[in-house]
Chain A
Amino acid sequence: MNPILRLDGICKNFGGVVAAKDITFSVYPGRVHGLIGPNGAGKSTLMNIISGIYTPDKGQIYFDEKEITKVPDYKRARMGIGRTFQTPRFLQRSNIRDNLLLGADLGNQIGYLEGYFGKKSANFDGDLAELMEIAHFSFDWEDDISALPFGQRKLLEIVRSLLAKPRVMLVDEPAAGLNSKEIEYAMDLLNMAAEKRGIGIILIEHSMDMIMDICKEIVVINFGCVIANGTPEEIASDELVIEAYLGRQEDD
C-alpha cells in the first residue's frame, strides 16, 4: 500500500534553533500514526510544515506520491490535508451551523459561483448525523460557538475536519482539556475516520493511553529529529525514547 503522505529529509531552522532535522516518515491510509516527543521537540512545527504554514528549508513532502513542498496552505487543504488545533479555531462571531458549513464547503469543493446559485452537498445531512451520533452531540445549530464548552469545541473541530472529507488528518493534542468521556468520543471519531473512511491520521498526543490504544505506529521526535519509529511495543521499550522522556540513568 502506498503512503498517502510522505516526508523526506525535512529540515527547518528558525534563526539558530533547529526545529526539524532530516525528518523522514510515511503516513498510510486508514492508519493512525502517533507523533510523540517531549515538549518543544518540534511536533507542532512539523504539523505546520505539513499543512503548509511553514516552508521547510530542505526536504520534500509527498501527498499521494505527488510533491507538494511548494504548494500553498489552502491548496493543501483542498487536496485533502485536514487539521485540528490544540486550541480550536472557530469563527467566534458565527454560529455553529456556519462554522460547520465551512468544513462542508471544503468537502464539497463547489466554486463560489455555483454555490451562489444553490448547489449543495448531496449527503451533508447524513454525514453530519453520523458524526454527531458518534460524538454524542445535541445542540441548537443557531447557537454561538462560544456557548459550547471547551471539550465540545474540540470534538466539534474534529467533526468539522471530517466534514471536509480529508484524506490525511493532522490532529494536535485532541485529549488536552477533555474529560474521560469526551476522550472516548474523540477516539471513536478518529477510529471511525481511519477504519471506515480510510483517512491517514497523524496524532500528536501526550496522553500515552490514547496513543498506545489507537496508534498502529508511532514516530518519536526529540530536538527536531526522529529518534524512533515503530509499533507501540517497540517504542515502549526503546532506550532512546525512554531517555528522552525520563532522562538517562546516572551511573553511580
Chain B
Amino acid sequence: MSDAQGLFILSAIRALAPLALALVSLAAVPLVSAERFGPSRLAATRARYLVVALLLLSGGAAFVAGAGVTSTFSIGEMSINPSQPGRLLVALGGPIFATIVSVGEGRRAGAMGQVALFGLAVIDIALAIPIGIAPIALLLVAGTSLAALAAGGKEDAERARAVFRDLRSAGVLITLTVVAELLRSAIPLSATDPTYATTASLTAGVALLLSLIVLTSIGAFPFHHRLVRIFDSLPIVGSLIVGVWIPAAITLIILSELSLLISAVREPIGGAILPILVATGAFTMLFGGLSALLHDDVGEVLGFFAVGSSGWLALGLAAVIIRPSTLAPHELVVPATLVISLFGIWRAAIRRRYDLVSLQDLTGWARHTSAIGLVLVGVILATIALPGGALWSARAEVIGASANVITVVAALASAAALVAAVLRVLLVGLSQKSREVERTQVRRVTHPVTVAMLAGTLLIAGAASGVIDVGSAASELLRPAPDATVVPGDLP
C-alpha cells in the first residue's frame, strides 16, 4: 500500500468512524437483542455489551487514526477537516460513555449507548466541518433530537417538558445563529461603504449574538433552568450529551470564531457586552455552587454543579473579547466537561445501586459502597485540579482578564462552593447508614463493572485535573488565523 493510500484510509477512518459506528448500532442493537442470539431476558445485557464495545471502538478510532494525520477527507464537494478538539472529545468521550453505560446497566442501556454514539459522532463532524451556520445548527438540532430519543420509552411528563424546553431553546438559538452568520458575512463588506454599519459595530453584534448562544446552551444564569431540568429528568447519558458535551463543542467553535473575529478588528469592541459577560460568569458560578450546596435531590445537585462550572466558560467568553489571542478559555472547556461527566458516573452508580434520589435517604452510601465513594473523591480532586498546573494558569488568566476585584473574589468563593457541594455529598455518604442503604446488597470490588468504574475514574480525574495532559489538544483554534502559516501537509 502506498503512503497516499494509507493516508487516505486513515483520513476516511478518522473522518467517518464515529458516524459509521453510530449507524452500525442502529442495525446491530436490535439484531443482538433478537432471541436467536440468546434468551430475551438477557437482551438488554447483550445490547449493553455491544454499545460499550462500539463506544470504545469509536474513541479508539478517533485516537489512532487522528494521531499525526492532519489531512482533509473529501466527499464530493464537501471536505471534512480533522480537528484536534473534535478528535479529543471523541477519543475521551468513547471510554467515558462506555463507563457510564456499563455502570448504569439498566433496561435502556443499549438505547443510551446509541444516544452517546450519535452525540459523539455529531460533535466530531461539527468540529471538523468549515465554520458557518452548519456546525452550530447541527449541534443544536442534534441536541434536541437526542434529548427526545433519551426521553423516549417512558411516559414521564417531566422528561417531556425538559425536551420541550430544549426544543424551544434550539428554535431560538438556530435563528440567532443565522442572524449572527448574516452579520458576520457582512463584516468584510462593511469597509466598502462608510454610510453603513462599521466593522467594529458589526463585530460587536456578532460577538453579542454568539455569546448569547453559548450562555444559553451551557446553562449560564439566567438560562440555567433548562440545564437543571435536563439533569433532573433525563437519563444521565442523555443529560451529559445534551447538557454538557454538545454545549462544550458549541463553546469551542464559538471561542475559536470570536478569537478570529475580534483579532481582525483594531478598535476595542467590548462596550456593554463585557460587563454583562463578566457579571454573568461570576454570578453563575456563585449561584450554581451555592444551589448545589443547598439542594437535596442528586439530579439537581449535579445540575447546579454543571451550572456553576459553566460560569468559567462565561468568564472565558469575556476573556476572549478582551484578549482575542488568549487560548486560556479553550483550555477550560474539556476539563469542565470531564469533571461533570465524572460526577455523572457517580450519579449513575448511585442510581443503579440504591435507586434513591434524595441525599437524606442516602446517608452512609460511601461507607456502604466505598468504590462509589472513590468516584466522588475523584470529582473533588478534578474540581480542584493540580495546583500550579496548566488548568490553574488558565483559570487565573481568565479571571485576571476581567481585571475586577469583585470577579476575582466571586470566582474564588464560587470555586470553593463547588468543591464544598461535592464534599457535602461525600460527607453525607460517610455519616450513619440509613435503613435503605444498609439493606442494599454490596457488589464485590473485583466485579468487572466496579473495576471499569474505578479505571474510568482514574482516567477522567487525571485528565480533568491536569495530571494526564489532554487539554492542550483542545486549546487550538478550529481554523488557523488568517496570518498563520499553512503547512503544506495540511492542504487537501
A, B assembled together: no
- Interface residues in chain B, defined as those with a beta carbon under 8 Å from any beta carbon in chain A: none
